Structure 1
Amino acid sequence: MCSHQPPCPSADSADHDAARTVASHPEQGWSLLCNGLVVFDDTGELLPDGRTVEPRRPALV
């Protein structure tokens, strides 16, 4: 999906959220990255294959 040089990290790599933003919807709280990843303002993620990554917010003390 990525045509940048050097290419952005794939959705399966550890640094997948370093890919470039191709669509941003701050009013809805999400952005689409060029590797197909959807990232949410609460730090949750939706991977291209439909798997989810839970938000990584700091725990409240």
Structure 2
Amino acid sequence: MCSHHPVCPSADSPDREASHVIASHPDQGWSLLCNGVVLFDDTGLLLPDGTVVAPHRSPVAA
């Protein structure tokens, strides 16, 4: 899917969230990355194969 140089990480790569945003819908709380991953505002992910990755926020410092 990616035509960027260097090529964006694949959907199964650990750094998949580093891919370019190709469609942003902040009003709905999600963005589509060029590797086919849907990134939600709560840091959850929907992978192209339908796999769901639970939100993985960093703990908030006190």
In which range does the TM-score fall when normalised by the shorter chain? over 0.9
| 2:55 aligned partner | 55
- Equivalent residue pairs, number: 60
User: Residues of 2 paired with 1:58 and 1:6: CA distance?
Assistant: 28
User: Residues of 1 paired with 2:58 and 2:5: CA distance?
Assistant: 34
Q: Which runs of 5+ in 1 are unaligned?
A: none
| TM-score, structure 1 normalization | 0.92
Q: CA RMSD in A?
A: 1.3
Aligned pairs for 1:1-61 (under 5 A) are 1-58=1-58
Q: What one-letter code is carried by the residue in structure 1 that aligns with 2:45?
A: E
| TM-score, structure 2 normalization | 0.91
- The Cα offsets for residues 2-60 of structure 1, whole Å up to 9 and x where unpaired, read as 00011000000010000000000000000000000000000100000000000113568
**Local SS of the residue matching 1:17:** helix
Determine what percentage of the aligned residue pairs are the same residue: 67
